[in-house]
Amino acid sequence: MKRYILAGIILFFVLSGIVILNPAKPQHHASDNKPASYEYYYNENEDDEEDSLLPEDLSSVLSDTRTVPLDTTPGSKTVLVNRVYLLPSDYIPPNLVVPDVKFSFTYSSDKRKLRKVAADALEKLFQAGEKEGVELYGVSGYRSYARQKEIYDKNIATRGQAATDAVSAKPGSSEHQTGLTIDVSARSVNFRLDQSFGDTTEGQWLAENAHLYGFIIRYPFGKTEITGYSYEPWHIRFVGKAVAAYLYENELTLEEYYGVEDAVKEDTAKNESEPRVDVEDPDSVKYATPKPTRKPKVSATPKPTKKPKRPKKTNDTPKKTAKPEQTKPPATDSPTAPPVATPEPPPVPTAAPTNPPASESSDPTFQDHNAPQ
């Protein structure tokens, strides 16, 4: 009997020691220490898409007193991931599955995968598009930390550090690691990740309807300074319907939603880095360029006028008139005799002139004897 009592006592102390050495760890949720005015729905149930932190009065997000706590929990559907807030290198999202949608490639790859909650929402999104004549294709979904590091290191080897930071996301800063993000394209842009996709029928439909299924255009146009990434109309991120609808209606990014929009600006100013793109192959991205304005038509240089061809001779063309022959005076056998000069008659000799008579009126001594006395 004493043996049983002794054995019981020993067993009791052994079990007590186990409990003391390994106390039960309390479950820690992201809602701990959150304001009472918020409700945080976070659990591992992938069917519950309302995995998000929402204020009772969503308009308070836009006020000066922002009260939406920053969500950096890796497994949360509303986790903020960017150049400043990184994911751990060992984080692998739960419940990765392949959605039943069309892809731009046929081979098997991890980039087909998404978290189940995002995969289910993507199927509904694509189906809604097909009903309206919009055909979308998946291009690249989940991308592990190791895969992102491989891409980044390869770019550094070929481009250098500065050029790589301008086109590639650093490991841990890519949303693709969450399993909640996928790049989408269409046949109209030949399945490329092209900024002009945003101007296509498919791109416009996606931007206007993604929030109805819990997705947002994560890097919208005109928000590069806030997100740290260039405009990517193909990059959609699942955040749940409630948050997606709110961000869409108020034209907000996740950075603005959490009130940390200045964090990326400060990082950019500090590191003098350029906006990045969150894609697997930066060389596959085609940036939209402004359509060139039509150049004014340059008036063509007038061609030199050809010399007019001489008209062909026809029968109607008058022949050249022959020059009249100059008629020479008839030649004479003998030269013309010079005219005979007529001899002038000899001058008749005249008498020597006598003294002229004196003027009768001029001589006072003259007496006219014939005058009557």
* Of 49, 232, 255, 280, catalytic: 232
Of 206, 257, 214, 210, whose CA–CA distance to 46 is shortest? 214
CATH number of the domain that 111 lies in?
3.30.1380.10
Residues 95 and 77 sit within 8 Å (Cβ to Cβ): no
Is 126 within the bounds of a domain?
Answer: yes
What is the length of the chain? 373
Residues 355-364: what's their mean pLDDT?
45
pLDDT band at 258 (very low <50, low <70, confident <90, very high): very high
Residue 262 pLDDT > 80, yes or no?
Answer: yes
What is the structure's pLDDT at 264?
Answer: 86
**Each residue's pLDDT tens digit, 274-290:** 667 777 766 666 655 44
What phi and psi, each to the nearest 5 degrees, are found at residue 299? -65, 130
Structure-block tokens of residue 69: 């706590």
* Range picked from 12-16, 342-346, 353-357 for highest mean pLDDT: 12-16
Of 182, 273, 275, 162, whose CA–CA distance to 227 is shortest? 275
Is 303 within the bounds of a domain?
Answer: no
What is the structure's pLDDT at 196?
Answer: 96
Is 220 within the bounds of a domain?
Answer: yes
Structure-block tokens of residue 273: 């880095």
**Each residue's pLDDT tens digit, 107-150:** 999 999 999 999 999 999 999 999 999 999 999 999 999 999 99
Tell me which residue range forms the domain holding 97. Answer: 38-282
Residue 341 pLDDT > 70, yes or no?
Answer: no
Residues 79-95: what's their mean pLDDT?
96
- Specify the range with the lowest mean pLDDT, choosing from 114-118, 159-163, 209-213: 159-163
Residue 27 pLDDT > 90, yes or no?
Answer: no
Total number of domains in the chain:
1
What is the structure's pLDDT at 255?
Answer: 96
Is 343 within the bounds of a domain?
Answer: no
What is the structure's pLDDT at 136?
Answer: 98
Structure-block tokens of residue 142: 């989940």
Of 56, 62, 90, whose CA–CA distance to 74 is shortest? 90
- Is the whole model's pTM more than 0.85, yes or no? no
User: For this structure, is 232 an active site residue?
Assistant: yes
pLDDT band at 7 (very low <50, low <70, confident <90, very high): low
- pLDDT: which is higher, 185 or 65: 185
Question: Residue 25: exposed, middle, or buried by beta-carbon count in 10 A (0-12, 13-18, 19+)?
Answer: exposed
Residues 250-275: what's their mean pLDDT?
85
Is 222 within the bounds of a domain?
Answer: yes
Residue 257 pLDDT > 70, yes or no?
Answer: yes
Cα-Cα-Cα-Cα torsion 17, 18, 20, 22, nearest 10 degrees, comes to 160
116-131 and 201-209 helices, crossing angle to 10°: 130
Is 363 within the bounds of a domain?
Answer: no
β-bridge mates for residue 193, sequence order: 285
- Sequence-distant (6+) residues with CB within 8 A of 314 are none
Is 207 within the bounds of a domain?
Answer: yes
What is the structure's pLDDT at 164?
Answer: 85
What is the structure's pLDDT at 321?
Answer: 52
What is the structure's pLDDT at 198?
Answer: 97
Is 103 within the bounds of a domain?
Answer: yes
What is the structure's pLDDT at 247?
Answer: 97
